[in-house]
A and B are shown apart, each in its own frame.
Chain A
């Protein structure tokens, strides 16, 4: 019930926004997202952490019996954490749109709320079709947000975003339907799209069939992540989207892809996943390095952060394809951490853009002298993004690399076992130290481009765009971008308030991630165990047949 409420509250809010006068849109939207946040916090409190791997808050309503489709919801700790991230970013995005969005406010806030409902639905659904419905439906609001409130090249960005993700996900649908058909075949013609039921019957699928299922699913989900060769929509969409759109895109929408991979590729094609892991991990590493190198030559700071998402999600995927406890745990944490720190970076860039109407590094510099508060936050979140120990990025990046490092039989058990006992989380896998080593260079590249950008913009001599005085007198020239004459030189209280929760969480997850890790560990172990058990039964060539123990996750 509580999950249905989390989906319905934003939808109701959207309805209210649609029927009430334009002036009150923002306050209604803010109320709706705050209520959703409160409800999700209540849910987090009521969540039974002893059974964190089990689906909780179950509810189901039949929909299409003939096809076995039900509207069923339920979350384990992974989905729950991502829902919390979604509901947290909701009010923040509404707040950051206050001065940025002055045109067609009603449409904007209504669709924003619909987007939040759809994203919550993705994480909450227990039914494949409900998942797919929500997954696809996120495209429409995002398409509208980009094409109405984006910057100059917005139409192309919106179309590219839609076509890339839609094409991929239709093929993924074919894969999902195949999985359901397989189950129907095994169980005498009874169709169901219930994820847990399908997961059980996927064990009997032949490795060849699993390979095809993996390819079909990855066609859809890798685009969303985005994994290296299909990432080209992302920088464009990020750059053109309005600030709140970028925050949601980086914060949650990309996670739909990683979440779907963890949820469905792990469950439905485990043996094939083990087989393809080196290839997929290689693509992730290419993404890390290539994304990082492209960041280095950017002059548009928003584009830089956008490309950094490609690199960061590469780490996340690397950890996931390590297929062991620390790797997958790191990947899940990475989803949250990337959402917090990159989301915050987009907010900060939006704030500068509202003041200077430029994002070019050539036209901005030395802002520390003029905007000390903004600069403080900027440096803080850049550090979080780089992976400075003590902040959240470090924890997840380290776990991902550790997972990749250990994911080979030699390093997971043999040699390392002789030196000081078995490593926690050591399992079999097809990656190894080389993967971690090469990905590690990505960390250095990340430090280089992010610090280079910070150095250019925050420190040094003050550079402002030509013709930009203190008076912000050029408003009229910016048309629908609206009046920002209310904005002070440095951040105002509202802007600080949007950043503080993110900063606090970055710090908390960096210093004391243990509660979150404890909550995630059972769910992660279960996902990993499924893969390994299935891989063992279908006898995919692995170096050893070491069966992982329950304690493979990082303590």
Chain B
């Protein structure tokens, strides 16, 4: 147990911060209360730093009893990315709750009442969710994974509900909660069946059981149900129905949170879970049936290590193709920016599923896992940028001081002329989401192309390409309405909100989209390492497939 704690420093740091935030956020002193987000930010930064310095990697993790054996280097990269994007998300959360309340207190019209204020809880839930996400990244058993996933999700239900004072948010929160519970029930049932089929909850043991005894039908049903249930977290078809309503109902900064945090949790879990059923390491890398000895005394035959079982692959394939297509086509029909972004977030999950299907590979370009991990970072930065812009602008507030958000395409017309920073951020981030070179989104998509082609998934590559083109239609609107169009003379004026840190968040995202496209090579190095499983040797060159090719592929 103590050994486990030794690689959970980032989570511990986040938890301690959470406790502090809960206390400080309730302070009667307005200045102290105001420090809550700063404290949360410091906690996230410390967690990121600890993740970078203390996470055991490679053989270290493999040797420790509780380390992940299947993807031993995943945790470090993911936790640093979570802290980084988490910080960006924290920047745009400023003033989400208690805005009216604090204004009244500042005007001496009301005294501070802890029962009416939500600040402490809000930031605590934010940090809890990030903690859960980091725990996902270091999960090594089904129980842990389930608890981590729920720790990620439960706070988000409340964040959605209290993010605005509108009834729509409450409706969204309830809808999200019930459908989330359904999703959780589905993958919990799946986890239970996997346990029933293998007698193990530890992921390494499950992998061992699969490799020695094969995958029996109970366990297979469990895997399929788990994949389907995790589809809820990543908002993949057919578990996507909540997405648009919830994103629309929540405040934009919370929608931005939903677009990154639960999705990342879902993809990490998917990767960890699928790693147990073998997965192709290098597809033609090892002779079938060759037993491979893992550190920790666990052996695993590679007969399931050559590719995903057909039924799992089929499920993922159909999910990927439908998710991309339905997401993009429905996004075309929306007039609300948030709904459009919600459907586009569905589509992006579909793109990443292509990487999941492609599976691991020996080098960055061959590895679908690496593509997914890099895309998670890229998507986190660029989608946060678009939501940050929406969070930064509003209509002039109602008499009681409640913010009225901007949500229609018509509202962002001519934004660049009045708010250049926000307008250009929206343009850059939308074009990056579209995948237009030379922005970050393009270099996120390129590894998906290379790895999927390497895995011979040509049809998926074409579907992915056509979907990128469909997406062009609505991303162009999003990118160029602020810049090219003139504001309607009769339209209600759009003003920048009073929270500079939200604008800063937008600016940082836009800068990230550009800078990461220039220096992304360094990040790709870490990604390549993170995507490496413990079986393939670090510097192993892939076996040339000339022979296979000559036979007329």
Residues of A at the B interface (CB closer than 8 Å) are 62-68, 129, 132-133, 136-137, 139-140, 143-144, 147-148, 159, 162-163, 166-167, 170-171, 173-174, 177-178, 180-181, 184-189, 191, 204, 206, 208-209, 212
Contact = CB atoms under 8 A, between A and B. Distances in A.
A206 B366 contact: no
B365 A184 contact: yes
Given A67-B447, A163-B472, A181 B453 contact: yes
A66 B525 contact: yes
A140 to B, nearest CB: 7
Contacts of A148: 484
Interface stretch (B56-64, B239-247, B334-342, B538-546): B538-546
Contacts, number: 114
B546 A167 contact: no
Contact of B450 (A147, A159, A187, A191): A191
Contacts of B541: 188-189
Given A167-B469, A181-B453, A143 B462 contact: no
Nearest to A219: B465
* A-B interface, 10 closest residue pairs, ranked by CB to CB distance from nearest: A167-B469, A66-B364, A133-B437, A189-B542, A170-B465, A66-B524, A133-B438, A177-B449, A191-B365, A181-B453
B443 A206 contact: no
Nearest to A182: B549
Nearest to A135: B437
Contacts of B525: 66
Contact of B521 (A64, A132, A180, A185): A64
Chain A CB within 10 Å, residue with most, of B366, B447, B472 = B472
A520 B97 CA distance: 69
24 contacts: A62-B521, A64-B521, A66-B363, A66-B525, A67-B364, A137-B438, A140-B436, A143-B480, A159-B476, A166-B468, A166-B469, A167-B472, A174-B462, A174-B465, A178-B458, A180-B450, A186-B546, A186-B549, A187-B544, A188-B541, A188-B542, A189-B366, A189-B542, A204-B549
Contacts of A137: 436-438
Contacts of B442: 133
B466 interface: yes
A129 B546 CA distance: 25
A180 B446 CA distance: 12
Given A170-B469, A174-B465, A189-B541, A65 B521 contact: yes
A388 B454 CA distance: 52
B510 to A, nearest CB: 16
Nearest to A206: B552
A185 B446 contact: no
B11 interface: no
Contacts of A139: 436
A203 to B, nearest CB: 13
Contacts of A144: 480, 483-484
Nearest to A184: B365
B473 interface: yes
B13 interface: no
A163 B473 contact: yes
B528 interface: yes
Interface string B359-389: 0001111100000000000000000000000
Interface of B: 362-366, 431, 435-438, 442-443, 446-447, 449-450, 453-454, 458, 461-462, 465-466, 468-469, 472-473, 476, 480, 483-484, 520-521, 524-525, 528, 541-542, 544-546, 549, 552-553
A129 B436 contact: no
A63 B521 contact: yes
Nearest to B449: A177
Given A147-B484, A185-B546, A171 B462 contact: yes
Given A65-B521, A137-B436, A185-B549, A174 B461 contact: yes
A170 B521 contact: no
Contacts of B365: 66-68, 184, 191
A398 to B, nearest CB: 39
A142 to B, nearest CB: 13
Contacts of B521: 62-66
B453 A174 contact: yes
A65 B521 CA distance: 6
B453 A129 contact: no
Given A66-B521, A162-B472, A163-B473, A181 B450 contact: yes
A541 to B, nearest CB: 18
B159 to A, nearest CB: 36
Given A159-B476, A162-B476, A188-B542, A67 B366 contact: no
Given A64-B443, A64-B521, A66-B364, A174 B528 contact: no
Contacts of A143: 476, 480
Contacts of B449: 173-174, 177
A218 B417 CA distance: 40
B213 to A, nearest CB: 33
A109 B528 CA distance: 42
B552 A189 contact: no
B544 A188 contact: yes
Contacts of B466: 167, 170-171
B379 to A, nearest CB: 18
A68 B366 CA distance: 12
Contacts of B436: 136-137, 139-140
Chain A CB within 10 Å, residue with most, of B435, B446, B458 = B446
Chain B CB within 10 Å, residue with most, of A148, A178, A181, A206 = A181
Contacts of B454: 181, 184
B208 to A, nearest CB: 29
Given A132-B437, A133-B442, A148-B484, 4 more contacts: A137-B437, A177-B450, A188-B544, A189-B541
Chain B CB within 10 Å, residue with most, of A66, A137, A162 = A66
Given A137-B436, A189-B362, A173 B472 contact: no
B465 A171 contact: yes
Given A162-B476, A191-B365, A178 B438 contact: no
A31 to B, nearest CB: 26
A314 B465 CA distance: 27
A526 B327 CA distance: 47
Contacts of B362: 189
A65 B545 CA distance: 22
A284 to B, nearest CB: 25
A186 B552 CA distance: 14
A208 B450 CA distance: 20
Given A136-B437, A143-B480, A170-B465, A189 B472 contact: no
B553 A147 contact: no
A62 B436 CA distance: 20
Contacts of A187: 544
Nearest to A167: B469
Contacts of A212: 458
A133 B442 CA distance: 9
Contacts of A163: 469, 472-473
Contacts of A189: 362-363, 366, 541-542, 544
Contact of A147 (B366, B468, B480, B545): B480
Contacts of B480: 143-144, 147
Nearest to B470: A167
Contacts of B465: 170-171, 173-174
A136 B458 CA distance: 22
Contact of A66 (B431, B437, B473, B528): B528
Contacts of B524: 64-67
B445 to A, nearest CB: 9
A174 B483 CA distance: 31
B210 to A, nearest CB: 28
B184 to A, nearest CB: 36
Contacts of A185: 544-546, 549
A150 B454 CA distance: 44
B531 to A, nearest CB: 11
A67 B446 contact: yes
B202 to A, nearest CB: 33
Nearest to A216: B462
